[in-house]
Amino acid sequence: MRFSLTSILFPVMLFLASCTTTSIQQKEQLVLNLDLQTSNKNKEMIIEYLLKEDLQFAVDFDKTDSYKLGNNILKSDLKYFCNSFIEEQNIFLESVVFNSSRDSNKKILIVYSDEFKKIAQNLKNKYPLELYFLIDEENYKNKIDKILGRDLSIEKHSNMSSIDRNINIEHSPRIRNDISKMYFLINYDLGKTIVPIFRSSALNIDFYSSTQIFHNANNLKKLVDFENTYIPLSKKIIDNISNKKKIDSIENEFEKLLISDFLTIEKIYQNNLFKSNIMLETGPTKIRKNQCINRNLPIWKISSNSITNRS
């Protein structure tokens, strides 16, 4: 359900905001007053959320010097949170992928595209001894064979076969054995193509990525391309999305959940509803007055069985 930001909407909002509980209800209704500046896309999601809630609300999107909510909600530092949704994932992944308990004799392969060059460079400055592989859509199959060392195995097999072409030598190209983990910094269009190729060659290597690798997917079933990849995401988020019959994109669903979390916390502050544990749309968390919130993201391993059972 979508709402157009027309002049008709605001009188409706003002009417709803002015409504009070009746004596028959005898129920104290929650109140929410919002002053913020943001894009039309975000305004629509905010209004959609408010119209579904049982509360009195008033919204002013034009107030000067009010809180500014960035258009890209996933990368914006939402009010009350310590970090953006994406930055929180990146911080968590860095702690897991580059942890000190890993095998020091093996390396981590960071596969990244132009879009993520800055993040890759920051990691390279911190962890210069790891392997960094810039990839694009041109001739990626040969590039993958080269970085995994498959090209040498294929070349060796070709040379052996050329000695006597009457002999059929079965060959399964070997990959280098000094890689313990792969960390993907790529978008959906590239990821859905190259991750299955890496997976077919590197069966015993753990894969990691942020949710950005499947943001543009419009169905949870399409996550099977990233089978067994570890993602910092709560089961609750997946359940929320799987309950939708049709979605524009997974990214858009994340945006709606983050808007819901932001407004829920705003409601908690304005109505003094603090308690030790709160279940937000993005997972359980602790909300303490005047302290920024960490989402405490868990790690989720993508499984085709769990995806097909939900969607």
pLDDT tier, 137 (very low <50, low <70, confident <90, very high otherwise): confident
Rg (CA), the chain: 24
What is the predicted pLDDT for the residue at 145? 85
**Can you spell out the DSSP letters for 214-239?**
GTT-SSGGGGGGGTTEEE---HHHHH
pLDDT of 14 reads: 45
Q: How far is residue 303 from each of residues 15, 229, 300, 306, measured CA to CA in Å? A: 47, 8, 9, 5
Determine the Cα–Cα distance for residues 61 and 69; give it in Å rounded to an integer: 10
DSSP 140-197: HHHHHHHHHTHHHHHHHHHHHHHH-TTS---------S-EEEEEEE--HHHHHHHHHH
Two tokens at 78? 């939402």
Q: Tell me: the pLDDT tens digits for 21-75?
A: 333 233 467 899 999 999 999 999 999 999 998 889 999 999 999 999 999 999 9
The per-residue pLDDT for 24 is 29
The confidence band for 15, taking pLDDT boundaries of 50, 70 and 90, is very low
Estimate the crossing angle of helix 40-52 against helix 9-18, to 10 degrees.
40
Across 217-226, average pLDDT = 94
In this predicted structure, what is the pLDDT of residue 240? Answer: 84
Banded model confidence at residue 169, pLDDT cuts 50, 70, 90: very low
CA distances from 250 to 63, 112, 159, 311 (A): 32, 21, 47, 13
Give the residue, 176 or 180, on which the prediction is more confident: 180
pLDDT confidence band for 277 (50 / 70 / 90): confident
Domains of the chain: 1-71 (no CATH), 78-136+178-311 (3.40.50)
Which amino acid is residue 109, in one-letter code?
L
Q: How high is the pLDDT of residue 304?
A: 81
User: Stretch 75-97: mean pLDDT, rounded?
Assistant: 95
Mean confidence (pLDDT) of the chain: 83
Q: What is the pLDDT of residue 243?
A: 84
Query: How many Å apart are CA 247 and CA 42, to the nearest integer?
Result: 17
> What's the pLDDT band for 11 if we cut at 50, 70, 90?
very low
Q: Residue 241 and residue 104: Cα distance in Å, rounded? A: 39
C-alpha–C-alpha distance, residues 58 and 53, integer Å: 13
| pLDDT confidence bin for 251, thresholds 50/70/90 | very high
Split at pLDDT 50, 70, 90, the class of 167 is low
Question: Taking 50 as the threshold, does the pLDDT of residue 224 lie above it?
Answer: yes
